[in-house]
Amino acid sequence: MLTDPIGDYLTRIRNGLQAEHEDVVIPASRLKREMSRILKEQGYITDFSAEAGEKGEVLRITLRYTEDRDPVISGMERVSRPGRRRYVTSDDVPRVQGGMGTTIMSTSTGVMTGHEATKKGVGGEVVAYVW
């Protein structure tokens, strides 16, 4: 049984980038779909789509590389874990890599970046950092 689906999501993307795959297939959920939307909007991945898999819906994420075939994503970190949740107020949203990375947050108004959460004045659970 998988106890941390978001950790698995980040690890599958990380492993796909390290192996230089074009895309990765990940079991789908609403949170993973929203995280993929944010990664696409921020330019970390090329595209994503939801498809029917053998045991339910899956996300097919098309990874993005530079012209030299280096991954666009240089690092990903799971922040709030099942055993240790991390919540912040809108004033305490962390900056990743001095503002060069992205904080993915789950708030009461939906999943959004840390920058959007600060602008809207909402806090929430810090799900992951991407840089």
Q: What percent of the chain has pLDDT over 70?
A: 99
User: Whole-angstrom Cα distance, residue 14 to residue 75?
Assistant: 8
State pLDDT tens for residues 24-53: 999 999 999 999 999 999 999 999 999 998
Indicate whether 82 and 58 sit together in one domain.
no
Indicate whether 80 and 57 sit together in one domain.
no
Place of tokens 């106890």: 3
Indicate if the alpha-carbon torsion angle 53, 23, 7, 130 is positive or negative. Answer: negative
Q: What is the pLDDT of residue 1?
A: 64
What is the extent of the structural domain holding 40? Answer: 5-63
Please report whether residue 57 resides in a domain: yes
Please report whether residue 69 resides in a domain: no
Please report whether residue 98 resides in a domain: yes
Indicate whether 85 and 41 sit together in one domain.
no
The pTM (predicted TM-score) of the whole model is 0.93
- The helix or strand, by DSSP H or E, that contains position 60, with its residue range, turns out to be strand 56-63
Indicate whether 9 and 59 sit together in one domain.
yes
- Those residues whose C-beta lies under 8 Å from the C-beta of residue 124, and which sit 6 or more positions away, are 87, 88, 105, 106, 107, 108, 117
pLDDT band at 117 (very low <50, low <70, confident <90, very high): very high
